[in-house]
Homo-oligomer: A and B are copies of this chain.
Amino acid sequence: MVESSEKTPVSYAQDDDKQALLARLKRVEGQVRGLQRMVEQDTYCVDVLTQISAATRALQAVALGLLEGHLNHCVVDAARQGDPAAKVKEATEAIARLVRS
């Protein structure tokens, strides 16, 4: 697991944001367990593929929500402190990984 060395303030620290994010990840976990049940029940391959696409889209929706929070807090704070370029580059690299996954 890749983690920043020191505790950087996070955009989802507000309790409701955090709980909403955890709830969405919990749902994705449920979708992946649902995929396992489909395979155990010999469900037709194309139906399993359809649900894999749905789980992938759910993961992307979590990422996009997290990204909007990151831009609104971490990148905006860096802009106000006068030195946003590093945070913007870091965010763009995260977006590139999302686009290519």
Binding site for B on A (CB under 8 A): 1-4, 7-8, 10-13, 18, 21-22, 25-26, 28-29, 32-36, 38-40, 42-57, 59-60, 62-64, 66-72, 74-76, 79-80, 84-85, 88-92, 94-101
Which residues on the B side are within 8 Å of A64 (C-beta)?
92, 95-96, 99
Overall SS of chain A's interface: helix
Most buried by B among A7, A71, A80: A71
Given the known A-B contacts A3-B43, A71-B88, A97-B49, are A36 and B22 also in contact in the complex, defined by CB atoms under 8 Å?
A: yes
Contact across chains for B53 and A63 when beta carbons are under 8 A apart: yes
Contact across chains for A101 and B43 when beta carbons are under 8 A apart: no
